[in-house]
Amino acid sequence: MKIIKRNGSEAVFDISKIIAAITKANNVVKPEQRLTQAQIFEIANTVQSACEAHSHAMSVEDIQDIVEDRIMAAGSYQVARKYITYRYVQSLRRTHNTTDDRILSLIECNNEEVKQENSNKNPTVNSVQRDYMAGEVSKDLTMRMLLPPEIVKAHEEGIIHFHDADYYAQHMHNCDLVNLEDMLQNGTVISGTLIEKPHSFSTACNIATQIIAQVASSQYGGQSISLTHLAPFVDISRKKIRRDVEAEMRELAVTPGEEKITQVVEARLREEIKRGVQTIQYQVVTLMTTNGQAPFITVFMYLNEAGDNLRLKSDLAIIIEEMLRQRYQGVKNEAGVWITPAFPKLIYVLEEDNIREGTPYYYLTKLAAKCTAKRMVPDYISEKKMLEYKVDQNGEGHCYTCMGCRSFLTPYVDPETGKAKYYGRFNQGVVTINLVDVALSSNGDYDAFWKIFDERLELCHQALLCRHNRLKGTLSDAAPILWQYGALARLKKGEPIDKLLYGGYSTISLGYAGLYECCKYMTGKSHTDPAAKPFALDVMQHMNDACKGWKAQHNIDFSLYGTPLESTTYKFSKCLQKRFGSVPGITDRSYITNSYHVHVSEQIDAFTKLKFESDFQRLSPGGAISYVEVPNMQDNLTAVLRVMQFIYDNIMYAELNTKSDYCQCCGYDGEIKIVEDDGKLVWECPKCGNRDQNKLNVARRTCGYIGTQFWNQGRTSEIKDRVLHL
């Protein structure tokens, strides 16, 4: 059985240390107030049993709390006081070097809490360690000096979660929708070098990857680009290639005819498109940003974004086809085996021209289905439902990509042009409310629930204003690629970014987690039950109403966001167990449910799940994604296409989760299993028993994106509990 030490590292549970600590406290009280040796052993054994009963490795602090409780339960209050005093003195001694200890444990790769905080960062790599080290210093500064004590306390107790505290000390924002069109068409500046409009598709792709890397190093969330912005450069290359071919024919004194020249031109053009797409795919995978990971990038594939320009749409279709083909192939790992990469994340829009047999671009949809069955991407946006959900003040619906794994901008009309604007906008940051804690704190009383809910929402409100105020006054010089050279704006040097923080240009997100557990505790039923669903929808509406009120008060676009918890799902679970104990069906797992999702263990079919969750997506305008868990579907693409068609008709944004694994020891390419070993969940090859994570390639979808660097115990437990929906 393992425990988590104060510096985050793991250690084996040692009952003798508990006995020794109680004995020390026992020895300094009067003889008549002391515990007997048998009582000390009994307390220690009770603590050990409590640790074994937990679904995750307990922290030293949690264990010491139990020790205190058991000493007092034995009636030895003087011993308990001495034990508490001893803890306090030791805590004071540690205060000066807690951050130092955590940093040292990171360098030695002993910090289990931080090691698997992000499933796309390898914690053994120097650049990742450097980012984590800086993050620990930043978090320490943030919690001690920059945030109000009540926000820090609520964050530490798991009542709310103040996301990305490791970046808060700097004036950085969350995620954005890059205006690649402006940067390519009008030029940009990268590292002080002027980059003019490219003269070919391959050059445009190369510049795009450099922009992606620069943007990723200037913010901490996800970013998105659209292939539509690259499509105009296909025809530029076509014309250039035609001039070259015609010159070659003249040199050779050959007149093959217009049809033959066109064939040669298109063949060479396809090769250039292949190289350009390959540049994006491999550069994104191999680039290492300043935070020690590949850029968290989403590539958007939307045919109707080309409008009525048939040539542009046709060229865009060629790029999309090549992007899907290369993603289906995958990338080679160090053993030379084709595997599933985490990025770029792909989003494919389902629309009238591609959704059914007989439509012009159905061939692309079939290719997307084939890619999904093997590589878990692309995800799918329904143009039909998005036009219905995302309606601007002019009454017009719009279809556009999210900024990260699920973070959506809200509709916005540029007051200067009177037209909708999405590219060049961004999100200021996120604070998440723990809905499970609200429910448990109310003890099931509905009047108390709504009162506590409002108090917690006000905490989130104040925390979000801290994020907003941290960005106020930021000069464009802080990130020139973002604010001066077109990614988000073209402000002057020395100009503050403040005007972009108001009026709906950017968003700021109220996240939420654990709607399922909240609903189940208050109603006794899953929110999928017709009797409980109205309460769940009321909770969602209440958060939307709060955002609407804050927006009116501050002229800032507060928006409700279905938080993609990764490490925080584990943190919230541990905090809930500490505050409320093990409540069956509510806190008895090492994770809580993401956003509005149906619980991962609930038996429900794919179509019912998607239809049910569609009502909650509508009430989560700041971001939401639904998924269905499926087996290997490579031999049943008809079923994949059926799910995709259902998505088009019923829900705005969804994905299919499958598995994509490989064991480097024996070559097994089936599902790598999760097994329990001494109270800890580990990954194991079912063929050869390999448990070395360095020799296992495991890809799983977690919170909307693919992770490949494994996960903490809470998320691993959630993955283990998933049931199939198809």
| Torsion of the alpha carbons at 243, 244, 249 and 250, rounded to the nearest 10 | 70
Band of pLDDT at residue 52, cut at 50, 70 and 90: confident
Catalytic (active site) residue 688: no
Per the CB < 8 A criterion, the answer to whether 557 and 410 are in contact is: yes
Tell me the per-residue pLDDT of 219-243, one tens digit each, with 9 for 90 and over: 998 999 999 999 999 999 999 999 9
Q: Catalytic residue, from 517, 566, 629, 684: name it.
A: 566
Catalytic (active site) residue 111: no
Band of pLDDT at residue 717, cut at 50, 70 and 90: confident
Q: Catalytic residue, from 175, 518, 522, 633: name it.
A: 175
Catalytic (active site) residue 302: no
Tell me the per-residue pLDDT of 463-473, one tens digit each, with 9 for 90 and over: 999 999 999 99
Instruction: Examine the pLDDT at 115 and tell me if it is beyond 80.
Output: no
CA-CA distance, 713 to 116, in Å (whole number)? Answer: 9
Please compute the mean of the pLDDT values over residues 133-137 and round it to a whole number.
77
Band of pLDDT at residue 59, cut at 50, 70 and 90: confident
Q: Transcribe 57-101 into DSSP letters.
A: PEEHHHHHHHHHHHHHHTT-HHHHHHHHHHHHHHHHHHHTTHHHH
Tell me the per-residue pLDDT of 274-323, one tens digit each, with 9 for 90 and over: 999 999 998 887 765 555 556 789 999 999 999 999 999 999 999 999 99
| Torsion of the alpha carbons at 515, 517, 521 and 523, rounded to the nearest 10 | 50
Q: Catalytic residue, from 427, 595, 650, 717: name it.
A: 427
The CA angle 291-561-594, to the nearest 5 degrees, is 80
Q: Catalytic residue, from 111, 174, 697, 712: name it.
A: 174
The pLDDT score that the predictor gives to residue 520 is: 98
Please compute the mean of the pLDDT values over residues 579-607 and round it to a whole number.
95
Catalytic (active site) residue 174: yes
| Nearest alpha-carbon partner for 53 in 588, 717, 571 | 588
Catalytic (active site) residue 427: yes
Answer left, alpha or beta for residue 246, where phi above 0 means left and psi between -120 and 50 means alpha.
Answer: alpha
| Nearest alpha-carbon partner for 155 in 139, 171, 175, 169 | 139
The pLDDT score that the predictor gives to residue 125 is: 67
Catalytic (active site) residue 51: no
Q: Catalytic residue, from 561, 570, 591, 705: name it.
A: 561
Instruction: Examine the pLDDT at 710 and tell me if it is beyond 90.
Output: no
Per the CB < 8 A criterion, the answer to whether 526 and 602 are in contact is: yes
pTM: 0.85
Q: Catalytic residue, from 704, 707, 712, 717: name it.
A: 704
Catalytic (active site) residue 354: no
- Beta strands 331-332 and 338-339: pairing type? antiparallel
Q: Catalytic residue, from 205, 301, 386, 403: name it.
A: 403
Please compute the mean of the pLDDT values over residues 109-114 and round it to a whole number.
55
**Domain spans of the chain?**
2-96, 175-343, 428-624+654-721
CA-CA distance, 112 to 472, in Å (whole number)? Answer: 35
Catalytic (active site) residue 399: no
Per the CB < 8 A criterion, the answer to whether 507 and 409 are in contact is: yes
Helix (H) or strand (E) holding 27: helix 15-27
Please compute the mean of the pLDDT values over residues 546-562 and round it to a whole number.
98
Per the CB < 8 A criterion, the answer to whether 317 and 303 are in contact is: yes
Q: Catalytic residue, from 183, 405, 522, 575: name it.
A: 405
CA-CA distance, 682 to 659, in Å (whole number)? Answer: 17
Please compute the mean of the pLDDT values over residues 24-51 and round it to a whole number.
91
Catalytic (active site) residue 663: no
Please compute the mean of the pLDDT values over residues 356-367 and round it to a whole number.
97
| Architecture of the CATH domain 428-624+654-721 | Alpha-Beta Barrel (3.20)
